[in-house]
Structure formats: structure tokens, C-alpha cells
Amino acid sequence: MMRRKYGVTKFISELLIVYFFAGAAGATTLARMDLRQLAQSAQIIIRARCEGSQTRLAGGNIWSIYDFTVLETLKGPPMQSLNVALPGGRIGHVETKVDGAPQFRAGEEVVLFLEKTSDGGYSVTSWAQGTFRVRRGAAGESRLTQDTSHFAVFDPATKSFAPAGIRDISLVEFRKQLTDVLRSQVTRH
């Protein structure tokens, strides 16, 4: 008969894994935001390319820090690059995922609605709702799809959950809609 030896370190490691997974099992609820609300909440709106990421442990939570090269500034001061911090990621054998928090891959092009965090960094406004993936259409044009176009969000008006968001729109049309929204915000003030 074979007996396994468990050292204190192994036991603590397994206990930490259970603790992290239990914390990650909770649900995320996002209140629905339309383009106008996203644009109003975001301090910066950019089209950018993800260059890579790192993970950090802060306050007992795992954070992914994504590095972006800015291709176009749609709102806010022009910049060449920036980092975006989002909850979740992997450190060693421990991984956390947070529903609604987007993840990015190196080389991926996105449009992001961003807001400043208390530590002076940036995070995505309403996470998945402030994330638009860019892909090339059949004719080679850039087309956008909002992450929430497949993600159930809570609509306070109907008091129900349903997928909502912008799906498969040209970058040209998106810029036009966003410009109209931003102009209407300026004229109201």
C-alpha cells in the first residue's frame, strides 16, 4: 500500500488554490450601458493593439496588466502607449477568471473605453461593455463587435438579462456614431 506524504507547503498551496477558486466562483453583474453612457463615463477612448501582458498579485488578488500601443485616440489626450489593469490572470498554478472582465492577446486590435483608476492607471469602463474587438471584413475593412454582444447584461428598464451591444459594424460607421454622441455631450454642457 502506497502512502502519500503531504508537507505543510503542499497543504497550504492547495488551500490557497481552493480559496482563489472559491472567490472567482462569484457572479459578475453589469448594468447595461449604451454608447452614449459609455462615452460619457470614459475619460479616454482609443483604438489600440495589445503588445502583451504581465500578471501581478496585489491585495490578495491576481491582476493582468495589458500593454497597448495606441493607434488612434477617439477621445482624450493623444498618447502613444498605455497599460490597462483588469482583475484575473494566472500566477504559477493559480488562475482566476472574473466574468465580464475582458482578456486580450498580443497582436489583437481593439477599441477601448477607459477610465482612470485611483492609482493613476487605467481600466476598461464597464469591462466587457467598454471593449470592442476589431477584425478585418471580407473586403479588408475594419469591423467592430462589442464584447457584450454575446454577454447577458442587466437592463434596468426591462428588469431582465439579455445580450446587448454593437455587433459587426464598420470602423467608419462606429466613428460616425461615436462622433455624434460626443458632439451631443459637448452641446449639452
- Residue scoring higher pLDDT (28 or 150): 150
In a domain, 16, yes or no: no
From the list 126, 133, 120, the residue with the least C-alpha distance to 47 is 133
- Residue scoring higher pLDDT (20 or 185): 185
Each residue's pLDDT tens digit, 64-109:
999 999 999 999 999 999 999 999 999 999 999 998 899 999 999 9
- pLDDT at residue number 3: 42
In a domain, 21, yes or no: no
- pLDDT at residue number 23: 42
In a domain, 4, yes or no: no
In a domain, 175, yes or no: yes
In a domain, 142, yes or no: yes
- The predicted model gives 152-168 an average pLDDT of 84
**Which of 77-86, 110-119, 160-169 bottoms out in mean pLDDT, i.e. has the lowest?**
160-169
CATH code: domain of residue 60:
2.40.50
Q: Is the pLDDT of residue 5 over 50?
A: no
Residue 114's contacts (CB-CB under 8 Å, 6 or more residues apart) are 42, 43, 44, 45, 46, 76, 82, 84, 122, 123, 124, 125, 130
**Structure confidence at residue 1 as a pLDDT band (50, 70, 90):** very low
From the list 66, 70, 72, the residue with the least C-alpha distance to 80 is 70
In a domain, 59, yes or no: yes
Each residue's pLDDT tens digit, 125-149:
999 999 999 999 889 999 999 998 8
Residue 173's contacts (CB-CB under 8 Å, 6 or more residues apart) are none
- pLDDT at residue number 182: 95
- pLDDT at residue number 85: 96
Write down the residue that cell numbers 482566476 correspond to: 96
- pLDDT at residue number 162: 79
From the list 38, 53, 31, the residue with the least C-alpha distance to 111 is 38
Each residue's pLDDT tens digit, 7-55:
434 333 443 343 444 344 445 556 778 999 999 999 999 999 999 999 9
Domain containing residue 80: 31-188
From the list 151, 79, 61, 173, the residue with the least C-alpha distance to 121 is 79
In a domain, 117, yes or no: yes
Measured at the alpha carbon of residue 154, what is the angle toward residues 149 and 159, in degrees to the nearest 5?
Answer: 130
Query: How many structural domains are present in the chain?
Result: 1
In a domain, 156, yes or no: yes
